[in-house]
Structure 1
Amino acid sequence: MLQDRLYYKDAYVTSFTSRIVKQSQDSDGNWYVILENTAFYPTGGGQPHDTGTMNGIEVLNVEEVDGEIRHTLAEKLNASGEIKGVINWGRRFDHMQQHSGQHILTAAFVELFGFHTESFHLGKELCTIDLSVENLKDQQLEAAEKLANDIILKNVPIETKWVTEDELDQYSLRKELAVTDEIRLVIIPEFDYNGCGGTHPNTTGQVSGIKILSIEKQKRKVRVHFVCGGRILQQLHRKNTILAETSRQLSASEDSINNSVAKLLETNRVLERSLEEARESLLTYEAKELLLKSESPLVKDVFYERNMQDVQKLARLIVSMDDEVIALFVVETENRLQFVAAKGTAIGTSMKKVSEVALLAINGKGGGKDEFVQGGGERTMTGKELLNRMAECVQ
């Protein structure tokens, strides 16, 4: 029976003894063990599995397969009788804090606003709940967080109870249950009644605290990112380290970082505008130089490892300066060829003809209109050879 499993009898158990029922290898060749009973919690209900050791060998994964709990080990267990299992208590208690914190935060959103949780994920660093609501206001987040922490501060009991389906009417359950036999309730009296198979501390006080970090809007729901217990200190330490380093790099006090970042962003915007203006000036100068060097209505060149956007802009500038020219450019890289073809308004030839020839030659893809085409493909020839084929189309 589920309720006989050691992690349900005592979530605080850190070591135990049991006997091996089976040892085998899975389809990937990993050794796993099935025991008569276990204190290792298997992945389920949004809560990750326990880790630890079995006779000193690392337990890598714990999962329930066909009603049996498989303990995947780092290597084969050289034993056939009794074994000693040791739980990684730091990981277990962290999961207990996060899972119970989720119950409390979820109940707070229901209590205050009627927002129900659709799913829960307990990640390595952060936890999330998906709320069945399209928008959340800052005031609602603050209110739910405050109520959750008030419940934690009261240090009320967290009870677990096994009930039958007929007994469910006695409890105001938060959501409908997915199971009908061996039903386990996790209860925070007068606040939350919920079916759950996870591990939990004995009191809300042991959750220590809840901090909402951010929200993420999704299709018709909002994902809330949060942490509980020891993870709050981890997040605080991480953010404090980042803040201190940012303060050092900006040569600003922590209180004035916002102003310093705002000034830095404005300076960056000014520099970007100046660089863009300089870039435009250089492209204009280059366009004039190419026109002067051209001895025919064709202005053509091969560029190596050049930014394609610059080449496109260069072609447009040239035909805007002289409506009786055609600009043909090829960009050559180590394993790719790209091309641009543009014509002045006085030229009758369509550049689509150039595109067809070029794309066929390089097994490429591209498109455009009569006045301007572009494309790219394989490096089946040199850039100069491709340019010559393009030029033959318009001569």
Structure 2
Amino acid sequence: MIKHLYLSGVTESFVEVVACTLLENGQFEIKLENTPFHPQGGGQPSDTGYIAESEVVHVAIENGTIIHLCKSAVALGRVYAKVDIQARRLHSRLHSAGHLIGHIVESYGWQPIKAQHWPNNSKVQFLATQNSEPVDSMYLETRLQAFIDADLAAKITLNENGFREIQFGELNAYPCGGTHVLSLSEVGNVKIIKMEIKKGKLTVHYALAKGILG
């Protein structure tokens, strides 16, 4: 079974290339025995980077297997792989910010149902319940910043069913297979772009403030 090194925050390591297949579009599908690359999923974009000298342009899961789409072939055997650390850091900051929004809005009686932590298009969607209350965007930003300023540490655990969960400080843990910051000060400032309600669903659009931690 492939080792998901990215779940432990690894961004570079030696890997074992077990398959390299030329695709019709000219890209190469690379399979590894262990990978530091986070595949696209769970609302988070895939990592990019390099396997040996070959650029990794996308990582996905197909039929339960992680595949790395690369621009050139890679020889089978042991090579070095390195994730684009700037992109990983951005994705992690956005993902952690999305979790915080989920925690805060959930406290107003809204049920989180979907999230997308993409640069330039990050949003969290909630379903109304009988206990849902109005949420003010300015107040949401203020509460977000309070958690970030408190610099709560991330804690990763496995629940009783063996599923990975992420928790910040004493906030409730959320099931998650994505990457996150080590502590909330790394998130920086978060801006609520807009909030909209349609058909009983609240969508909160957000972004990281420019100039804060890159």
1:199 to 174, 179, 184: 179
Partner of 1:186: 166
Given that residues 129 and 223 in structure 1 are in contact (C-alpha distance below 8 angstroms), is that contact kept between their aligned partners in structure 2?
A: yes
Matched, 1:209 2:204: no
Distance 1:193 1:27 in 2: 43
Partner of 2:155: 159
Matched, 1:16 2:4: no
Given that residues 59 and 72 in structure 1 are in contact (C-alpha distance below 8 angstroms), is that contact kept between their aligned partners in structure 2?
A: yes
Letter in 2 for 1:162: L
Partner of 1:91: 87
Distance 2:196 2:183 in 1: 30
Partner of 1:129: 124
Distance 1:108 1:220 in 2: 18
Partner of 1:233: 210
Partner of 1:317: none
Distance 1:209 1:31 in 2: 39
Partner of 1:80: 76
Cα deviation, 1:27-52, whole Å, max 9, x if unaligned, reads 65531111110100001111110001
Partner of 2:33: 36
Distance 2:205 2:170 in 1: 26
Cα deviation, 1:300-332, whole Å, max 9, x if unaligned, reads xxxxxxxxxxxxxxxxxxxxxxxxxxxxxxxxx
Cα deviation, 1:239-283, whole Å, max 9, x if unaligned, reads xxxxxxxxxxxxxxxxxxxxxxxxxxxxxxxxxxxxxxxxxxxxx
1:119: Cα distance to partner?
0.8
Given that residues 8 and 199 in structure 1 are in contact (C-alpha distance below 8 angstroms), is that contact kept between their aligned partners in structure 2?
A: yes
Partner of 1:104: 100
Distance 1:226 1:114 in 2: 20
Distance 1:156 1:51 in 2: 28
Query: TM-score scaled to structure 2, two decimals?
Result: 0.89
Distance 2:72 2:53 in 1: 11
Given that residues 17 and 82 in structure 1 are in contact (C-alpha distance below 8 angstroms), is that contact kept between their aligned partners in structure 2?
A: yes
1:56 to 42, 53, 57: 53
Report the count of equivalent residues.
210
- Aligned-residue CA RMSD (Å): 2.2
Given that residues 91 and 118 in structure 2 are in contact (C-alpha distance below 8 angstroms), is that contact kept between their aligned partners in structure 1?
A: no
Q: Which structure's residues are more often strand, by fraction?
A: 2
SS state of the match for residue 136, structure 2? helix
Given that residues 94 and 119 in structure 2 are in contact (C-alpha distance below 8 angstroms), is that contact kept between their aligned partners in structure 1?
A: no
Letter in 2 for 1:5: H
Q: Which has the higher contact order (CA 8 A, sep 6+)?
A: 2
Cα deviation, 1:43-66, whole Å, max 9, x if unaligned, reads 111111000111121101101112
1:65 to 62, 73, 78: 62
Partner of 2:200: 220
Distance 1:130 1:194 in 2: 15
Letter in 1 for 2:115: F
Q: After the TM superposition, which residues 274-293 of structure 1 pair with which residues of structure 2 at under 5 Å, given as runs?
A: none
Query: TM-score scaled to structure 1, two decimals?
Result: 0.50
SS state of the match for residue 76, structure 1? coil
Of the two, which has the highest radius of gyration?
A: 1
Query: Structure 2: where are the runs of 5+ without partners?
Result: none
Between the two proteins, what is the percent identity of the paired residues?
A: 25
Distance 2:45 2:172 in 1: 22
Query: Structure 1: where are the runs of 5+ without partners?
Result: 166-181, 236-395
1:95: Cα distance to partner?
0.4
1:116 to 106, 111, 116: 111
1:76: Cα distance to partner?
2.0
Partner of 1:280: none
